[in-house]
Structure 1
C-alpha cells in the first residue's frame, strides 16, 4: 500500500512541538522497522555488521580526524569545464573510540569535501558537523550519549538508556538541544547546505570560499520546525520547494508531511495515519503527489543477479519519468566494487568497475547545466578507496559514455560513508551573497591548534584514533 498526498499550499505559522527519539526505541522493539586531547583509549572495541558488540571499527571503516583544506591536489586527466563546484559526502565517524558496541550508523557526522575549479584545480577538506551532541561530549572529553544501534540491546541497553536519562536529569547533558549525529543525508536548499540524520533537526554547514567547511548550527527554518525531519528530503526542480517527512514514535500522528517553499516558508503539517509507530527512511515525489510506502516492502528483482544500492537519477528530472538510474554495485557485500547505469526503459545495464581491490560507495550524478540536452548528459562522481595501495581518490566519469575523464588523488584516507551531493559554483556564489558566516571555534581548537591559520597545512587529528 502507498499513501499519495497532494501537496499542501497553505502556509502556517502554527507548529506543534513533538518529542522524537526514534533510534533508541526502534532498536528496543518499538515499531517495526574536559579536553579531547586528554582522552585515554584503554581497549579496542569491536563492531559487527549487524551492530552487535564484538567486532572492531577497523580497516577502511576506522575513523579519521579533521583535515583542514589542502590545495594543489594531483589530478589525472581533465576536470570538465562545466564541473565547477564542491562535491560533498557525509558519513559516520565517531570522535571517541566506543566503550561498548558500535555501528557505522552511530558515528558522528563528518563531511568530506572536494572543491573543483578552473585550470584543473582541486582541494580537499573534512570536518565534523558540530552537533550539540558532539560539542557536549567534546566538552566532557568522553562518549556520553548512547549509541542506538551498537549499544541499545536487551536489558543492558535499557540500563544504558536509563543512565543517560539520569545524567540528563541532573544536567550533565542537555538532550533538549538535540541528540542527532547529522551523519546521513546532505541537501543544498535555499542557500544552505544541510546535514541530516533521522532523529533531529538538520545542521547548517557553510562552505567557505577556500573549500573548507564550518558548522553554523542546528537549523529549524527560522523557528518553523521544532521536532525532527528525515534525512532524505526532496527538492522539486520545477518549483524549488523542499518536501519532507517527520515521524514520531511516542504519539499520534506517527507521521507527518510538510513542504518548505523556495522562500523558506513552511506549509501546514499533513498527518499520515499509521496503525503503529515506525521508521520512514525515504519517500518519493511526483509532479502533484508525495508517495509514501506505509506497508512492508515487496521484493521484486529489477535487475536480476545483481545487488544494487544507493541509486540516484538526474535531479533536474526528480519527480518526473526518468530513463536512467545510477546505482552502486554492492558486491562483494558490504563493499561496492563499482556502479551501474540502469536504463529503466530497456532494462540495459552498463557497469563501471573500479578495479582490483578498489571500492567506493554511492555514485553522485551531476547533470549538465546546459539547456536542452539528453538526460544522461553529465558526470558521475564518488570517492574510491584503493585498498592495496592505501590511497583515496575522487573519480569522475562521463555518464553518457561511462568513461573515466578525471581522477583526483586525495591527501588522506576517506572512510566508506553514506550520501553525497554536488554544489555548483553558481550556488556557492549565492550562498556567499545571502549569509554572513560568523567565525566559530572548530574541533581542532579543542586540540590546541588553529585550523584556519593562514595557509597552514596541519595533519589530520582525532582523539584516540590513529589515521
Structure 2
C-alpha cells in the first residue's frame, strides 16, 4: 500500500480533516510489510547485531479517540554484519485487536489479558514484551522466521494481578526488573512489583495513595524506588482521555527502600506539575536522591516539557527543584547500563506532537554534570522519534550509537538513522532507507544478539 493511501485511510468516515493524532505522520499505516536488504547511506557499524524495535499506536480502523488509544504496532529493523538485513512491521495481536475486547467492559468487568499493547517494547529474562500501562504485557517473538508474531499475554505465571507500567526499570547490577501497576477502579491504586533476573515475580506490594492518578513512569536507584503521585486524576466523565488536571490533589514523591520493599513509603511534597518520562536517577551519598525528569508545568495546558532536576534530602524531608534547560524535550533516555547510577550523559528528542505543528526535529545530548548540551539537527521536514542507545563496547557510559526512526515529510517515508553518541552533531554514521513511513510513536529499544553471536536469545 502506498503512503498516500495510508494517509487517506486516516480520515474517519463522514468527517472532514482528521484529528491531529490521526493526521500527517501520526496517521496509521494500514498493512504489514517485510522487506529485505535495505539500502544504506553511510556504513552500519559491524558491531551492531540485533534488532531495533519501536512500539506505537496504529489503530486498525484508522480511528481512535486519542493518540494513546490506537492498537499497538511494532516496527523492527534487523542489523547484522554491517548490513540492514530487514524491516518489518506487525500489529500486536491482543484480544482488543483481534476481537474488539476491552479492558473494562460495559458491565465493569476487568480483563487485564487484553488491551492495546502500544507503548513500549522491552526485553527481560529471555522475553520480549510489548507494554501498555492498562494491561498485562504481551510477548512478541523475534526468532528467525517468526517475524514479530504475538505469543500472548504474560502474567508471570499467574502471579501478576495488576496492570504493568510501560516503563519498567532493569537494575544493571542485579538484573531485577522493577515496575508498578496503577489505576484500578478500587484501591489499592498503586502496587509495586519486582521480578528477579530469571523473570520470576518475587514482590508485589500494595501502596496506599489517596486517589487514582495517571502514574506513567517512576525512578530507580541503587538503593531506592521513587514514585510520582502527581495531580492528573482519573475522571471517567471526561471525553477522550479520562484523566484531568487537578492541582488541588497536590504533588509528591514517594521513596521506598529497595532493601525493605514492604517498609514505609516516605512522601515528599513538590510543586504541582506533570511528568510523563524520567531520564535517570541516582543516590548521592546516604541521604540524597537525584532525579532527572522532562517536566510539564501542568497537564494539557500546551506548555512544553523541559529538563528539571529534583534533589531529595531525606534528612530534612525536602526537595530542591531546578530547571536545567529551556529547550523543549521529551522521550529522555540514558545508557541503560547506568540506570539508577550517576550517568553523566542523557539524551532526549525534540519532535512534533499531536497538534503542535511542524518543528525543527533534533536529538539533544545533555551533560548532566556541567549542564552543557549538543544537538543533532535533522533538517527541514525531518522529525526523529525517541532514540535508543546501543553500546559500542562493554564499558557503561562508554562510546555507542543513538538509533531512531526519522520521518521525512518531503518523501513521506522514514529512515533508520544511526548517530555517534559522542559526536551527536556530526553527520549520521548510517541512514537506512525504509520502504515506508513509520508513524510517530512512543518507545523502543536496541535488542542486541547474545554475545556469542547468532539470533537474539528468545527461548522461553
1:188 aligned partner: 123
Query: Out of 381, 389, 406, which is 1:384 matched to?
Result: 406
Output the CA distance in 2 between the equivalents of 1:238 and 1:334: 42
Q: Secondary structure at the match of 2:96?
A: helix
Output the CA distance in 2 between the equivalents of 1:67 and 1:331: 24
Q: 1:145 Cα deviation (Å)?
A: 5.0
- The structure-2 alpha-carbon separation of the partners of 1:328 and 1:432, relative to structure 1 and needing over 3 Å to count, comes to closer
- The structure-2 alpha-carbon separation of the partners of 1:310 and 1:334, relative to structure 1 and needing over 3 Å to count, comes to farther
Query: TM-score if structure 2 supplies the norm length?
Result: 0.72
1:355 aligned partner: 379
Q: Deviations over 1:116-136 (max 9, x none)?
A: 011423310000000111111
Q: Secondary structure at the match of 1:186?
A: strand
2:450 aligned partner: 426
Residues 112 and 414, structure 1, Cα contact 8 Å, conserved in 2: yes
Moved over 6 A (4+): none
Q: 1:45 Cα deviation (Å)?
A: 6.7
Q: Deviations over 1:39-95 (max 9, x none)?
A: x9743476545xxxxxx7222111113323210110111111211110001000000
Query: TM-score if structure 1 supplies the norm length?
Result: 0.71
1:289 aligned partner: 224
- The structure-2 alpha-carbon separation of the partners of 1:41 and 1:302, relative to structure 1 and needing over 3 Å to count, comes to closer
Output the CA distance in 2 between the equivalents of 1:425 and 1:69: 20
Query: Out of 303, 309, 320, which is 2:330 matched to?
Result: 309
Residues 102 and 111, structure 2, Cα contact 8 Å, conserved in 1: no
Output the CA distance in 1 between the equivalents of 2:186 and 2:368: 40
Q: Secondary structure at the match of 2:68?
A: helix
Q: 1:230 Cα deviation (Å)?
A: 0.9
Q: Which runs of 5+ in 1 are unaligned?
A: 1-39, 50-55, 138-143, 147-160, 170-174, 436-467
1:253 aligns with 2:188: yes
Query: Out of 84, 87, 90, which is 2:52 matched to?
Result: 87
Output the CA distance in 2 between the equivalents of 1:422 and 1:242: 17
Q: Secondary structure at the match of 1:97?
A: coil
Q: 1:430 Cα deviation (Å)?
A: 7.6
Output the CA distance in 2 between the equivalents of 1:208 and 1:334: 39
Q: Secondary structure at the match of 2:340?
A: coil
Output the CA distance in 2 between the equivalents of 1:47 and 1:379: 36
Output the CA distance in 2 between the equivalents of 1:258 and 1:318: 18
Output the CA distance in 2 between the equivalents of 1:58 and 1:294: 33
Query: Out of 150, 157, 170, which is 1:215 matched to?
Result: 150
The size of the alignment, in residue pairs, is 358
Residues 124 and 199, structure 2, Cα contact 8 Å, conserved in 1: no
**RMSD over aligned Cα atoms:** 2.6
Query: Out of 400, 406, 421, which is 2:422 matched to?
Result: 400
Q: 1:249 Cα deviation (Å)?
A: 3.4
Q: 1:211 Cα deviation (Å)?
A: 7.6
Output the CA distance in 2 between the equivalents of 1:338 and 1:180: 32
Q: Which runs of 5+ in 2 are unaligned?
A: 1-10, 231-250, 252-271, 274-296, 298-307, 309-321
- The structure-2 alpha-carbon separation of the partners of 1:352 and 1:211, relative to structure 1 and needing over 3 Å to count, comes to farther
Higher strand share: 2
Q: Secondary structure at the match of 2:134?
A: coil
Q: Deviations over 1:3-27 (max 9, x none)?
A: xxxxxxxxxxxxxxxxxxxxxxxxx
1:75 aligns with 2:37: no
Residues 92 and 109, structure 1, Cα contact 8 Å, conserved in 2: yes
Output the CA distance in 2 between the equivalents of 1:304 and 1:384: 24
Output the CA distance in 2 between the equivalents of 1:105 and 1:71: 31
Q: 1:431 Cα deviation (Å)?
A: 5.2
Q: 1:200 Cα deviation (Å)?
A: 0.4
2:315 aligned partner: none
Residues 413 and 434, structure 2, Cα contact 8 Å, conserved in 1: yes
Q: Secondary structure at the match of 1:86?
A: strand
1:232 aligns with 2:167: yes
Residues 229 and 244, structure 1, Cα contact 8 Å, conserved in 2: yes
Residues 122 and 408, structure 1, Cα contact 8 Å, conserved in 2: no
1:265 aligned partner: 200
Q: 1:250 Cα deviation (Å)?
A: 2.2
Q: 1:210 Cα deviation (Å)?
A: 5.1
